[in-house]
């Protein structure tokens, strides 16, 4: 299996400048390749440019610009071109599926924050000074950079990536390692219902509180964003020192919220994986859940619109994004795979409207967000617990069908 590791790097001031130049040049390569594809398609011939054609031009590009493009690893530049090719592949896939296309966009220097090296030893070398107690990674054109390695890397390193987050630099490794020994069986199965009032409710009636990290930081973020809004929009190189400080402050606050959300998701997922052999959850289409409501034109007044609940829906969308369901489910599946546990997604329709006692399904069974009262048999319970029980039952049925 493949596992990722992320470590903080400690580059010198000179190395930070060179790493910034590396990102800038890879960004320039990405944008140039995108422009070539746009120009070719806008031509009367409707020519399409492939990754293979653009990769074949790298030798000439490096020879023409040895001071910039010629400094960096050839394989890392190929990875940047593959990144653009994947963006176009996703664009055409969305068109075919009837989704919003989202044509690949040009990247600004501050947006392009990652460079990938597809193979350890080709343009980069992890643990480049093994005889030294300090871990270092070597990059072509940069040199040996100190790494704060806080845990051991198990397995063979496959890929190495450099990532910039604000003013910090990180290295992301992927390592191929044997599948770990599964955790001892507990004989327990559980269904979980994700929500807003409670982050998670399981079929045993346990509620995990929603930390609402973004809401707690909203006041501080508002002050920082107001301070940033006082500065006119400028390119990064033209910003004053105070402007840069305001940008960094907003980035630091958002980074803290993101890390808090990840920490909560990791701890919650780990608790579930340790306690249960089988975990069922709703197959939520989160992207569809946070779509803005469609406009409602007023037939009596052309050019006017009727209320469509956009303001209240925006508040709900912020709460869903703050909960981070997608991040949590991705972490849960990864931890379950490593621990030898089984995770199954089930259809979420009517899970909180179906009585677990008699099976009666009706919208009226859920009079409020928290209360469940069956109109057929009179069963009363917390609506989220009812949803979790029905999710577990549906998951066990699907599990049995898959094994049959």
Q: What is the pLDDT of residues 289-326, one digit of tens each?
A: 888 888 888 888 888 888 888 888 888 888 889 999 99
If you average pLDDT over residues 317-340, what whole number do you get?
Answer: 92
If you average pLDDT over residues 169-187, what whole number do you get?
Answer: 91
Neighbours of 159 (CB within 10 A): 19
According to DSSP H, which parts of 324-360 are helical?
Answer: 325-339
- Which pair of structure tokens corresponds to residue 383? 């609506």
How many percent of the chain have pLDDT more than 90? 76
Per-residue DSSP letter, 291:
P
How many percent of the chain have pLDDT more than 70? 100
Question: What's the confidence (pLDDT) of residue 10?
Answer: 97
Q: Tokens 């990536």 sit at which residue?
A: 161
Q: How confident is the model at residue 76 (pLDDT cuts 50, 70, 90)?
A: very high
The candidate with the shortest Cα–Cα distance to 17, out of 117, 143, 128, 108, is 143
**What SS3 state is found at 31?**
helix
Question: What's the confidence (pLDDT) of residue 266?
Answer: 95
Q: Tokens 């940008």 sit at which residue?
A: 247
Query: Does position 260 have pLDDT exceeding 90, yes or no?
Result: yes
Residue 336 to residue 107: CA distance in whole angstroms:
36
Per-residue b or e along 294-310, where b marks 16 or more CB atoms closer than 10 Å to that residue's CB: eeeeeeeeeeeeeeeee
Q: For 157-212, give the DSSP string.
A: EEEEEEEEETTEEEEEEEEE-PPPPPPPP---EEEEEE-SSEEEEETTS-EEE---
Question: What's the confidence (pLDDT) of residue 135?
Answer: 95
Q: How confident is the model at residue 75 (pLDDT cuts 50, 70, 90)?
A: very high
| pTM of the entire predicted model | 0.85
Question: What's the confidence (pLDDT) of residue 48?
Answer: 86
- Quick: pLDDT tens for 128-165: 999 999 999 999 999 999 999 999 999 999 999 999 99
Pair 255, 166: CB distance under 8 Å: yes
Type and span of the H or E element at 143: strand 143-148
Question: What's the confidence (pLDDT) of residue 224?
Answer: 96
If you average pLDDT over residues 82-102, what whole number do you get?
Answer: 92
The candidate with the shortest Cα–Cα distance to 225, out of 240, 246, 245, 243, is 246
**What SS3 state is found at 266?**
helix
- Quick: pLDDT tens for 191-235: 999 999 999 999 999 999 999 999 999 999 999 999 999 999 888
Give the least confident one: 290-304, 336-350, 378-392: 290-304
Question: What's the confidence (pLDDT) of residue 215?
Answer: 93
Pair 276, 190: CB distance under 8 Å: yes
The beta-strand segments (E) located in 38-118 are 114-117
Query: Does position 107 have pLDDT exceeding 90, yes or no?
Result: yes
Q: Bigger pLDDT: 283 or 180?
A: 283
- Quick: pLDDT tens for 17-47: 999 999 999 999 999 999 999 998 888 887 8
Query: Does position 6 have pLDDT exceeding 90, yes or no?
Result: yes
Residue 218 to residue 215: CA distance in whole angstroms:
5
Q: Tokens 């990290």 sit at which residue?
A: 213
Residue 75 to residue 116: CA distance in whole angstroms:
9
Question: What's the confidence (pLDDT) of residue 286?
Answer: 86
Query: Does position 348 have pLDDT exceeding 80, yes or no?
Result: yes
- Which pair of structure tokens corresponds to residue 83? 């990144």
**What SS3 state is found at 280?**
strand
Query: Does position 404 have pLDDT exceeding 80, yes or no?
Result: no
Pair 402, 380: CB distance under 8 Å: no
Q: How confident is the model at residue 176 (pLDDT cuts 50, 70, 90)?
A: very high
Question: What's the confidence (pLDDT) of residue 104?
Answer: 93
């Amino acid at each position: 299996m493949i596992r990722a590791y992320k470590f903080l790097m400690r580059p010198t001031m000179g190395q930070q400048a060179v790493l910034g130049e590396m990102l800038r040049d890879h960004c320039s390569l990405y944008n140039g390749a995108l422009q070539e594809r746009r120009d070719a398609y806008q031509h009367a011939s409707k020519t399409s440019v492939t990754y293979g054609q653009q990769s074949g031009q790298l030798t000439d590009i490096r020879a023409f610009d040895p001071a910039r493009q010629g400094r960096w690893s050839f394989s890392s530049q190929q990875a940047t071109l593959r990144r653009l090719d994947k963006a176009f592949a996703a664009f055409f896939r969305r068109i075919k599926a009837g989704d919003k296309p989202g044509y690949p966009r040009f990247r600004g220097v501050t947006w392009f924050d990652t460079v990938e090296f597809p193979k350890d030893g080709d343009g980069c070398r992890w643990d480049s000074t093994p005889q030294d107690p300090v871990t270092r990674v070597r990059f072509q054109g940069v040199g040996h950079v100190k790494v704060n390695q806080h845990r051991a890397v198990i397995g063979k390193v496959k890929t190495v990536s450099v990532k910039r987050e604000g003013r910090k630099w990180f290295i992301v490794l992927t390592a191929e390692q044997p599948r770990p020994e599964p955790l001892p069986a507990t004989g327990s199965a559980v269904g979980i219902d994700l929500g807003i009032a409670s982050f998670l409710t399981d079929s045993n009636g346990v509620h995990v509180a929603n930390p609402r990290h973004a809401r707690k930081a909203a006041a501080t973020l508002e002050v920082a964003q107001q301070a940033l809004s006082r500065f006119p929009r400028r390119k990064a190189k033209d910003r004053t020192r105070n402007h840069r400080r305001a940008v960094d402050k907003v980035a630091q606050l958002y980074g803290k919220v993101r890390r808090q959300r990840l920490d909560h998701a990791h701890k919650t997922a780990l608790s579930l994986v340790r306690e249960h052999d089988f975990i069922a959850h709703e197959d939520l289409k989160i992207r569809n859940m946070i779509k803005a409501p469609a406009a409602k034109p007023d037939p009596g007044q052309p050019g006017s619109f009727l209320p469509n609940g956009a303001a209240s829906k925006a508040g709900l969308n912020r709460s869903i994004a703050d909960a981070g369901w997608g991040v949590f489910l991705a972490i849960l599946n990864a931890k379950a795979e490593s621990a030898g546990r089984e995770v199954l997604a089930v259809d979420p329709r009517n899970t909180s409207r179906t009585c677990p006692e008699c099976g009666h399904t009706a919208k009226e069974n859920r009079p409020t967000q928290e209360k469940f009262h069956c109109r057929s048999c009179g069963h009363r319970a917390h609506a989220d617990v009812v949803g979790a029980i029905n999710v577990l039952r549906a998951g066990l049925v699907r599990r049995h069908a898959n094994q049959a």
